[in-house]
């Protein structure tokens, strides 16, 4: 469960304070698939970065599975991210010098997973790319790279997956494929998913849609089942 209470973010723009996220309350129940939509610059990435503990709020509390992450220091935040949160980015951020298989293997080895190789192979299978494991990112399509990035994000079986415009760099067919995969992850593993997207069409099958504008959220609407 993700709970935000009065969470805001103010940054300095030149010498003037600029509030890029107005005080926000939000609850995402475990196992929910929430989409966040809104125009560029409306604060979507800011909100996601705060939930991920990549950034600290100017006010308010962020509670992840009962832990107030605004109380944690850098080490505590890093541990929480490692245990609880997978992150997927618009531009994939795969390591170019490593194969697809190795990209998925890295977080498993860092976590000291005893059967890292076997787990990486299962993850590649789960995203439908068993036969692409030996390819380098540059040899894969955008959609394939994003599926590898999703496999990597799932390596340590996080209960929460955050995705910032995961389809933003893909054509519509590949974008749908990636959203299908995220929905499948949500249903089959029970992973809580929060996905930022530009594309309102992709939100139709989510549990709820949150719209942002000018650093404010509107009430979450329940999507079509």
Ligand X SMILES: Nc1ncnc2c1ncn2[C@@H]1O[C@H](COP(=O)(O)OP(=O)(O)O)[C@@H](O)[C@H]1O
| Residues engaged in binding Mg ion (CB under 5 A) | 44-45
Q: Residue 163 Cβ, how far from Mg ion at the closest point, in Å?
A: 11
Which residues within the stretch 23-62 sit at the binding site for ligand X (CB under 6 A)?
Answer: 38, 40-46
Please check whether residue 19 is in contact with residue 8, taking contact to mean a CB–CB distance below 8 angstroms.
yes
Tokens describing residue 173: 């067919």
218 lies in the site for ligand X, by CB under 6 A: no
Q: Is 15 in the site for ligand X (CB under 6 A)?
A: no
Smallest distance from ligand X to CB 45, Å: 3
Applying CB under 6 A, the site for ligand X has a residue count of: 11
**Nearer to ligand X among residue 8 and residue 42 (C-beta):** 42
- CA gap 28, 1 in Å, rounded: 6
> Measured from the CB of residue 138, what is the shortest distance to Mg ion in angstroms?
25
Can you say how many angstroms the Cα of residue 152 is from the centroid of all Cα atoms in its chain? 12
Helices (H), 68-171: 74-84, 100-110, 116-126, 142-153
Distance from C-alpha of 190 to C-alpha of 114, rounded to nearest angstrom: 24
Interface with ligand X includes 139 (CB under 6 A)?
Answer: no
CA 147 – CA 67 distance, rounded (Å):
30
The site for ligand X (CB under 6 A) is made up of 11, 13, 20, 38, 40-46
């Amino acid at each position: 469960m993700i709970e935000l209470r009065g969470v805001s973010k103010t940054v300095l723009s030149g010498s003037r304070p600029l509030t890029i996220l107005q005080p926000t309350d939000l609850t995402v129940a475990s196992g929910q698939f929430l989409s966040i939509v809104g125009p560029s610059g409306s604060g979507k990435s800011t909100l996601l970065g705060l939930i991920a503990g990549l950034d600290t709020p100017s006010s308010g509390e962020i509670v992840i599975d009962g832990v107030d992450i605004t109380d944690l220091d850098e080490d505590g935040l890093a541990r929480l991210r490692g245990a609880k949160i997978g992150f997927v980015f618009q531009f994939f951020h795969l390591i170019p010098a490593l194969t697809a298989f190795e990209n998925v293997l890295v977080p498993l080895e860092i976590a000291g997973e005893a059967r890292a190789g076997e787990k990486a192979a299962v993850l590649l299978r789960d995203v439908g790319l068993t036969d692409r494991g030996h390819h380098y990112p540059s040899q894969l399509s955008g959609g394939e790279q994003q599926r590898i990035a999703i496999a990597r994000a799932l390596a340590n079986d996080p209960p929460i997956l955050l995705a910032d415009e995961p389809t933003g760099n893909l054509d519509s067919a590949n974008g749908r494929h990636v959203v299908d995969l995220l929905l499948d992850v949500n249903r089959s593993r029970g992973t809580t998913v929060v996905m930022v997207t530009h594309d309102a069409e992709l939100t139709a099958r989510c549990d709820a849609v949150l719209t942002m504008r000018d650093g404010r959220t509107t009430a979450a609407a329940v999507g079509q089942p």
